[in-house]
Structure formats: structure tokens, C-alpha cells
């Protein structure tokens, strides 16, 4: 079984930007209803740079979720995103930053979610204690609105400030 253990954080400042080792543009969409009411899983199509995949992830609100991901042809992904996925699509740039041998993925959103920046770190175990860089802010792993699947129905641009 595929399992993802991941924590999400907001950022305190932009000091992470000068530590980026590489960045990749992402475009993704969801094939199933993204309102979370009664769904057991989300089905995502993602284009990541020059590759594409389909991803099935359990809809539990937890840092540990079932996850299955498989490569698909890029042309198929483009067609699925354009014709079958819920809108708006999620557009973001993922920046990779290493801190004390930990790999941080920082997603800088565009489009309807422009202005939102979230850092994620994958863990081997829920109890793992990772060193937090000075630019890491509050943890939002338990806040549904920060999940990509929720940003389709409730984009950051519509949040009250």
C-alpha cells in the first residue's frame, strides 16, 4: 500500500528563496468532486515539468494518507486537465529547499490561488521530529482549506483577509 506522511506549514518570510536548489512548474486538476462530502478519495491529474501522472489519495484529514501515483502520457494529461478536470486548475511552482538534510517542498501558487505559499515536508513516521528552519511558520496540516483538493472549490483569492 502507498502511504504519504506529510506536514504542511505557512511561511514567516521569504528568506527561503535564496536557498532554492531547483524549481518545477506544476499544473493539476481533480477528476472527482472536490467538495469532500462523502468522497473516500481524490483523483488528481498532474503535469510536473515535462512528465505527468495520475494520483489517487485518501480524503482523510490527517498527516498520514493512502497515496497511489502512476505515470501517464503527457498528451493524455493535457487532455484530461482541459476537458474533464474540475476548474479552476491548481497552478503552482514547487521549489526544493534543503535544510539540515531535510527536503522541503515549497509551493508558490498562481492563478486563483496566487499569494498562497505553503511548505511541506514528507516524513518516514508520524512521530519524526524534524528541525524547523527559521522561515517556517505555523503548522496547517490539520486545516482542510490548505489541501490542494480544497483550493479548487475555495481558492485563496476568495478567502476573507
The secondary element (H helix, E strand) that includes residue 156 is none
Residue count of the chain, please give it: 161
Compute the C-alpha angle 48/77/149, nearest 5°. 70
Q: Would you give the DSSP letter of residue 90?
A: E
**Whether 146 is catalytic:** no
Choosing from 30, 99, 146, 147, which is the catalytic residue?
30
The CA distance from 144 to 147, in Å, is: 6
CB neighbours of 68 closer than 8 A, spacing ≥ 6? Answer: 2, 55, 56, 57
Distance CA 19, CA 11 (A): 14
Would you name the residues annotated as active-site residues?
A: 30
Amino acid at each position: 500500500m502507498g502511504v504519504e506522511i506529510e506536514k504542511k506549514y505557512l511561511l514567516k518570510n521569504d528568506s527561503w528563496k535564496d536557498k532554492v536548489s531547483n524549481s518545477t512548474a506544476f499544473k493539476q486538476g481533480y477528476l472527482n468532486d472536490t467538495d469532500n462530502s462523502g468522497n473516500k478519495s481524490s483523483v488528481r491529474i498532474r503535469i510536473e515539468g515535462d512528465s505527468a501522472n495520475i494520483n489517487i489519495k485518501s480524503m482523510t484529514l490527517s498527516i498520514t494518507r493512502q497515496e497511489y501515483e502512476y505515470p501517464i502520457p503527457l498528451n493524455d494529461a493535457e487532455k484530461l486537465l482541459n476537458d474533464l478536470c474540475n476548474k479552476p486548475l491548481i497552478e503552482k511552482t514547487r521549489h526544493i529547499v534543503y535544510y539540515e538534510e531535510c527536503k522541503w517542498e515549497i509551493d508558490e501558487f498562481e492563478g486563483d490561488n496566487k499569494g498562497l505559499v505553503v511548505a511541506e515536508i514528507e516524513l518516514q513516521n508520524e512521530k519524526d521530529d524534524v528541525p524547523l528552519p527559521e522561515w517556517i511558520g505555523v503548522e496547517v496540516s490539520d486545516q482542510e482549506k490548505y489541501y490542494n483538493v480544497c483550493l479548487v472549490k475555495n481558492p485563496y483569492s476568495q478567502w476573507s483577509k
